[in-house]
C-alpha cells in the first residue's frame, strides 16, 4: 500500500508544477513545504542514478529550491538513501504515516466547528497564522489549494471572535487525508485537537471514506499521543534528505 498512500498524499497536497522523470516525480511549489518541493522515487528506474541526482540538483537549484529527496521503503533504486548520504545530504525530518479504519465512525452532526468546502481568504489567513507559516507566501499556499481537484473540508474552530483551531481534510475515493491539524497554544491539551480530527473523520465518513490517513513528525509527541488515542496505527515511516 505504500505506493498507493504516496500517490494519495501527493494528490491531496499538490505541487504547482510536476515533472515525471524516469519513474521519479519532481514537485515544485516555490519552496513551500517539503511535500510539494521534493523528489518522490516511486516507480521503476532505468537511467543511471547518479545522472538522475545531478539532473534533479540542477533543476531545483535553478528554481532557488534546495534539492530534497523523499526516502521511503519503495525507492527505486533501493540504495538511494545511501547514495544521498554519501553526497552529504542530511536527514531533515522523519515522518510517521498513519492510518485508521473509520467504518465504525457514524456521520453524526458536527459540534462547535465551522466546515467549508470552498477555499476562501479568511480561512487561508487563519490556516497560515495558526500554523505559523510565512504570510508573504500566502499566494503560493492559495495556488497549492487551487490545484487541489479533490473534495475537501476546511475546518475552523472559534471561541467568541477568535479562531483557535484549524484543519484540512481531503477525500479521494474511500481514503481521507488529514492535514495541518493545529490548535492555538493557549487551548492545547483540552481535547480540541481530538474534536477537530473527529469531525473531519465524520465529514469523510458521510461522503464514503473508509480509511483515514495522516502524516506526523516522529518527534511531535503531543500529536502522536492524540492520534494513538484515536486509534491511528503507523503504516510506515519516510524521511527527507536535503542537500547541505
Dist. CA 78–CA 52, nearest whole Å: 14
Identify the pLDDT of residue 227. 94
Question: pLDDT at position 111, please?
Answer: 65
- Nearest Cα neighbor of 184 from 167, 165, 160, 159 is 165
Query: To which residue does cell 476562501 refer?
Result: 120
Q: Domains of the chain: which residue ranges?
A: 2-95, 100-237
- Asked if the 100-237 domain carries CATH number 3.40.630.30, the reply is yes
Strand ordering across the sheet containing 211-217: 17-21, 24-28, 39-41, 68-71, 233-243, 89-101, 211-217, 175-183, 162-172, 152-159, 113-116
pLDDT at 163: 92
- Tell me, what's the pLDDT at 58? 97
Per-residue pLDDT of the chain (244 residues), as tens digits, is 899 999 999 999 999 999 999 999 999 999 999 999 999 999 999 999 999 999 999 999 999 999 999 999 999 999 999 999 999 999 999 999 999 999 887 777 666 789 999 999 999 999 999 999 999 999 999 999 999 999 999 999 988 888 999 999 999 999 999 999 999 988 888 889 999 999 999 999 999 999 999 999 999 999 999 999 999 999 999 999 999 8
Q: What pLDDT, on a 0 to 100 scale, did the predictor assign at position 68? A: 98
Amino acid at each position: 500500500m505504500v505506493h498507493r498512500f504516496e500517490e494519495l498524499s501527493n494528490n491531496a497536497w499538490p505541487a504547482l508544477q510536476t515533472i515525471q522523470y524516469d519513474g521519479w516525480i519532481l514537485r515544485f511549489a516555490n519552496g513551500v513545504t517539503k511535500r510539494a518541493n521534493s523528489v518522490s522515487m516511486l516507480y521503476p528506474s532505468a537511467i543511471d542514478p547518479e545522472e538522475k541526482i545531478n539532473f534533479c540538483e540542477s533543476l531545483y537549484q535553478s528554481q532557488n529550491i534546495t534539492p530534497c529527496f523523499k526516502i521511503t521503503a519503495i525507492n527505486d533504486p533501493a540504495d538511494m538513501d545511501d547514495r544521498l548520504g554519501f553526497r552529504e545530504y542530511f536527514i531533515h525530518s522523519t515522518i510517521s504515516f498513519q492510518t485508521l479504519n473509520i467504518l465504525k465512525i457514524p456521520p453524526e452532526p458536527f459540534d462547535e466547528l465551522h466546515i467549508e468546502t470552498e477555499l476562501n481568504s479568511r480561512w487561508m489567513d487563519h490556516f497560515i497564522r495558526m500554523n505559523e507559516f510565512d504570510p508573504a507566501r500566502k499566494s503560493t499556499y492559495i495556488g497549492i489549494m487551487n490545484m487541489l481537484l479533490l473534495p475537501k473540508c476546511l475546518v475552523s474552530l472559534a471561541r467568541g471572535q477568535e479562531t483557535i483551531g484549524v484543519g484540512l481534510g481531503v477525500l479521494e475515493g474511500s481514503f481521507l487525508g488529514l492535514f495541518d491539524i493545529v490548535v492555538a497554544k493557549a487551548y492545547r491539551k483540552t481535547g480540541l485537537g481530538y474534536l477537530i480530527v473527529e469531525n473531519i473523520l465524520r465529514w469523510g465518513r458521510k461522503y464514503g471514506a473508509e480509511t483515514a490517513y495522516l502524516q506526523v513528525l516522529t518527534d511531535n509527541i503531543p500529536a502522536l499521543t492524540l492520534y494513538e488515542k484515536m486509534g491511528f496505527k503507523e503504516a510506515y515511516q519516510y524521511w527527507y534528505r536535503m542537500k547541505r
